[in-house]
Structure 1
Amino acid sequence: MISTVIFASLAVYSWKILGFLIPDRLIGERGRLIAERMTVSLLAALVMLQGFSSQSDLVLDARAASLVVAGALLALRVPYIFVVLAGAVVAAGVRLLGF
């Protein structure tokens, strides 16, 4: 599973490098959109993988609660440092409660 993530990361990184090396007229708008969407989808996959899995099992623990709170705060456009701090506090609180 980790090899898939590494391969996908290298693929996205190569797209970014190619975007800088190839003239804009050869890439066009469609190529730019594909590169942007690949980056976002890889980031979303990494968040889901790290937030909701343990070994090869799906788990809902303190990380899931922390991600929900962080997502809500980001949607409200709260400054990033407060999002991180709130996520850490929520994760610590959930773990303290024993979930």
Structure 2
Amino acid sequence: MSALWGAVLLASLACLAIKLAGHVLPEHWLAQPRVARVAALVTVALLSALVAVQTATAGDRLVVDARLPALGVAAVALALRAPFVLVVVLAAATAAGLRLLGMP
């Protein structure tokens, strides 16, 4: 358990250091196109990883339940440029419908 708290503390300190570095670095370094592109891609990658973990895992194991098809429906709705509220409603309705039919 203490190893877990050590990792949390270390990650927190790393986040703080990165935030402070953003304030200390000269602004022209951060304005370069490569830095802006990498920052945008890192954001997308982290959000995608969070969605994948929350969709396909339960505890420490992989699961396929109603969340996975709901994510697929949301992806299709986004690809068709549906409004975000509609995307959320479609995904929720898909998960609810599948759970009503007995899918875990």
Give me the TM-score of the superposition, normalised by structure 1: 0.78
Q: Which runs of 4+ in 1 moved over 4 A?
A: none
**Where do 5+ consecutive residues of structure 2 fail to align?**
none
RMSD value over aligned CA atoms?
Answer: 2.6
1:22 CA displacement: 4.1
Q: Percent identity, aligned pairs only?
A: 38
Q: Which residue of structure 1 aligns with residue 63 of structure 2?
A: 59
Q: Which residue of structure 2 aligns with residue 97 of structure 1?
A: 101
SS in 2 for 1:50: helix
1:45 aligns with 2:49: yes
Amino acid at match of 1:56: D
| Bigger-Rg structure (1/2) | 2
Return the match for 1:26 from 23, 26, 29: 29
Give me the TM-score of the superposition, normalised by structure 2: 0.74
Return the match for 1:76 from 71, 75, 80: 80
1:95 CA displacement: 0.3
Q: Which has the higher contact order (CA 8 A, sep 6+)?
A: 1
SS in 2 for 1:61: coil
**Where do 5+ consecutive residues of structure 1 fail to align?**
none
CA offsets 1:39-71 (integer angstroms, 9 cap, x no match) = 000000000000110011111111101100000
Q: Distance in 2 between matches of 1:22 and 1:68?
A: 42
